A and B are shown apart, each in its own frame.
Chain A
């Protein structure tokens, strides 16, 4: 696990899928699944592939199995909208219910989904503390407690030798760590975007997992 890094005294392991494993707590964290985003569009006449939810859940199951986590925490916007859970296809619904039964499952509420996921099992909370870290959906620039959050969908955008490369990334400062969006149909926001910089005061870094290495890029 040479990609592990230290944050607020804790050792954290980023996974290529965009999930974060916290070995000391046997906890896997993911942000912004945006489940049922495709069917949200379908209602408006844009018939996007319905496979995205299955794709996201399969990646989630892989991450749980690879890490051996016993607790799973979703950092908000797990569904694209409030009525998302009602639109789950039967297979996806059972897969989710099975996971919420077998794992210690925490839903942190986001701005898109609020407490919609409660019906699927697991605990629902607006924010919480775990060890020395506070967990919430959207970073609170005024809070100095070390914090894990999602919401911004950070991605690294670089230009090297005429090519434009964009990758999902973790964005961190000394006391804040923002997870990339985990959902299959989630886009990203440049880590250098003013909105994201405002949420991440002080010197910041983008962390990208590539080919088994953890690459670090200062954010200017």
Chain B
């Protein structure tokens, strides 16, 4: 690192977790500050987590104090008191530790121009956590601004082991020039030990979170110092915690950690971990990143890991030492998941990680960012355009697209030129852009950021008396909260809570008992990665590997080969069979849950038109199963890829996905106000919901910038269109159709989920009528 820094080059350091890369990133800074006195800000450190910034400060201050150095280190996050923030602008420390959100706000201040002018280095920690997200877009734009204020600034990216460092170098570099970045690879540590749990050679048919294995998991915990039990969703975290507690005969101290718990509650659990007071912690991706919270010696992954990179990173949470192997135990939920777990283990052993899907930066993020830059200082649009394009995600933004973003930021971007007098950004005679008022800059600061949470209600201890409440436990989504009534109980933070009342945005609760509901959270599981899917197919086509598999899995595959056939390496297997007077069609696409979900919609729509009377479908990461009153004789036309775009457009436009995506871009793009946490959504007439705006815009200006942005998001994130299109092409070219006399072994895991699916979005009218009929029936006296 010192060498690269000496040459003044940008650098990307990749190292396994625990290799001490954060400290390595700071070494050149410390060396430089010791030899060359530097007044003002020298190094900016950017972390994805506030807590990580605080942790790094502690880890830096110790060696600085031990060596008796005179170097100032401070943090600046959303938690920093405003008087300290003001002081930092006047007299900055030499090293400032911050987050992308706080940095963006700092860069909107006029003082940033002088404050940042002398910055020598910027260190971006856990860069892999940013790159392909909207936070990454924002960070990249901030780096472009920093580089302009401090042209000699050296960029340093720190990353866990990643599949494709060259692409990341391009992301990190100014003007996406990967050649300007030197890639430094730390030596690999000892290979991890990854095991897959199979109790007595049994793996269940259905399920996907491994809850059946609670007893065995508890035994593993008892044999370890400290275990992290990773699960894939927040709802499952609550369920698994409860299951473990039921098997916890020795009453070992175990905790729970997920993104909906109150920050104080999370800090408390983290501190208990660090102090060695816990034996296990059930966690979601909220513990994926960064901190070294104690002496973890075992990671347990409940359910399939969904990706090799993810498995490796999670495994790395155990044992932050280079000379000992990290240990991980995967608990597969069903037989497909066993194969997936094995595939992930193979991939890690082979060093084959999942590449990240880089995509063009979001226009909503750009719209937010340009307002912040204009707030900092007047700027000419040409200059602004050049600056924006030097950020890798925006390297391809055309002048036309940029001008549209600018017009949107200034006047809302409407065809009706109604808002000239309310423009937020005005161009002066000098051609420079300025913000119309200081009030707009304040408003921008209150609403900036790229993370949009679902509308939530606070969970607090209380008796239901307005204004009187106790400790805050966390948040549940408004949608779930709306279903709760006084006296209901629900699972939260590892406890059963009973609702005692409602007060504005707060749900008052007390400790309860009984059969609780489980909160639903938006944004569920991650889909299995494409590379992992290819490996799962590979395992199915390698009978030599079957012998080492648990009996249940081996027999399942052998039986499938006899009754039907196994999916090939690159075909699409389609099975049709009859059962209970219905016709079933199982499609093994291995394209991930979202793509199969969309495929199910598409295929059943086409079946409807073909008069086959489809009744429903279910989707998993591996397959889609649909059923109908008439049989599918020739599946091929159902997979015709040619009209996909049109059908998808119709469906997406009517689906809740696009509305949800619109709400997000409307908040990020600064069209509607962010609901501040803990503040009750203002009354009926005060705000305008994103849904109503969406309806009006779609009708009157379908090409509006934010609709375009929402459309891009929905296509990319929610329906995995690329994978679906690939799947259809594949099915069209290489479709294997097998008719069987009855249900096949591979179809069973999907069939077991039938009946748990939700009805489609178009069914509202039918449900309304049904509700009325039910109520009418209940109220009948005869």
Contacts of B688 in A (CB 8 A): 37-38, 41, 48, 185, 187
The answer to whether A161 touches B772 (Cβ under 8 A) is no
Considering only residues 515-540 of chain B, those with a C-beta below 8 Å from chain A are none
The answer to whether B358 has its CB under 8 Å from any CB of chain A is no
B71 at the A/B interface (Cβ < 8 Å)?
Answer: no
Of chain A, the residue at the smallest CB distance from B706 is A49
Interface positions of A from 1 to 54, Cβ below 8 Å from B: 32, 34, 37-39, 41-52, 54
Q: In the complex the two chains form, is B483's CB within 8 Å of A49's CB?
A: no
CA distance A102 to B765 in the complex (A): 37
Picked from A32, A44, A52, A160, the residue with its CB within 8 Å of the CB of B768 is A160
A161 touches which one: B419, B767, B769, B779 (CB < 8 A)?
B767
Expressed in whole angstroms, the Cα–Cα distance for A117 and B530 within the complex equals 61
| Identity of the chain B residue whose Cβ is nearest the Cβ of A153 in the assembled complex | B684
Q: Which stretch in A61-69, A121-129, A171-179, A209-217 binds the other chain? A: A209-217
- Some 19 contacts from A to B, beta carbons below 8 A apart, are A34-B685, A42-B412, A49-B412, A50-B414, A50-B418, A51-B700, A77-B685, A80-B685, A112-B685, A158-B768, A159-B482, A163-B759, A164-B479, A184-B692, A184-B696, A186-B684, A186-B685, A187-B692, A210-B769
Whether A160 touches B685, Cβ cut-off 8 Å, given contacts A46-B671, A48-B672, A49-B697, is no
The reply on B422 being an interface residue by CB < 8 A is: yes
List chain A positions with a Cβ less than 8 A from chain B.
32, 34, 37-39, 41-52, 54-55, 77, 80, 89, 112, 152-153, 157-165, 167, 184-189, 208, 210-211, 213, 215-218
B673 within 8 A of A: yes
Chain B residue with the shortest CB-CB distance to A215: B772
Known: A160-B767, A187-B688. A47 touches B696 (CB 8 A): no
Most-contacted residue by chain B among A45, A159, A185, A215 (CB, 10 A): A45
| Closest chain B CB from A155 CB (angstroms) | 9
A134 CB, nearest partner CB in chain B, Å: 23
Provide the residues of chain A in CB contact with B703, threshold 8 Å. none
B220 within 8 A of A: no
Q: How far is the CA of A141 from the CA of B582 in the complex (A)?
A: 57
Alpha-carbon separation in the docked complex, A161 to B761 (Å)? 12
Using Cβ atoms and an 8 Å threshold, which residues of chain A touch B672?
46, 48
Distance between Cα atoms of A89 and B692 in the complex (Å)? 21
B residues in contact with A186, CB < 8 Å? 684-685, 692
- Judge whether A48 and B693 touch: CB under 8 Å: yes
Q: Which B residue's beta carbon lies closest to that of A189?
A: B684
Task: List the A residue with the shortest CB-CB distance to B412.
Answer: A47
Bound Cα distance from A46 to B770, whole angstroms = 40
A residues in contact with B763, CB < 8 Å: 163
* A-B Cβ contacts below 8 A, count: 126
Given A50-B414, A89-B416, A164-B479, A215:B769 Cβ within 8 A: yes
Do B416 and A50 touch (CB < 8 A)? Answer: yes
Residue from A47, A51, A187 in contact with B422 in the complex, judged by beta carbons closer than 8 Å: A47
In Å, the complex CA distance between A72 and B695 comes to 26
Question: Could you say which of A43, A52, A89, A187 contacts B696, with CB atoms under 8 Å apart?
Answer: A52
A80 to B416, CA, bound (A): 20
Chain A: which residue is nearest B439 at the CB level? A45
Residue among B411, B695, B772 with most chain A CB within 10 A:
B772
B426 → A minimal CB distance (Å): 13
- In the assembled complex, the Cα of A21 lies from the Cα of B287 at a distance in Å of 59
Task: Tell whether B741 is near chain A: CB-to-CB under 8 Å.
Answer: no
Residues of B within 8 A of A217 (CB): 771-772, 775
- The CA of A32 and the CA of B422, in the complex, are separated in Å by 25
* A48 x B779 contact (CB < 8 A): no
Query: Interface readout for B660-689 with A: 1 if CB under 8 Å, 0 if not?
Result: 000000000001110000000000110111
User: In the bound complex, do residue B671 and residue A51 qualify as a contact, i.e. CB atoms below 8 Å apart?
Assistant: no
Complex interface: chain B residues within 8 A of A158 (CB): 768, 771
Say which residue of B411, B684, B689 sits within 8 Å of A47 (CB atoms): B411
B443 at the interface (CB under 8 A from A): yes
> Could you tell me if B440 and A187 are in contact, using CB atoms closer than 8 angstroms?
no
Task: Give complex CA distance A29, B443 in Å.
Answer: 39
In the assembled complex, the CB of A47 is this many whole angstroms from the nearest CB of chain B, namely: 3
> Contact at B422–A43, with CB atoms within 8 Å?
yes
A215 neighbours in B (Cβ, 8 Å): 768-769, 772
* B780 contacts A by Cβ under 8 Å: no
> Please, which residues of chain B bring their CB within 8 A of the CB of A152?
684
B768 contact set on A, CB distance < 8 A: 158, 160, 165, 167, 208, 210, 215
Q: Is the CB of A48 within 8 A of B671?
A: yes
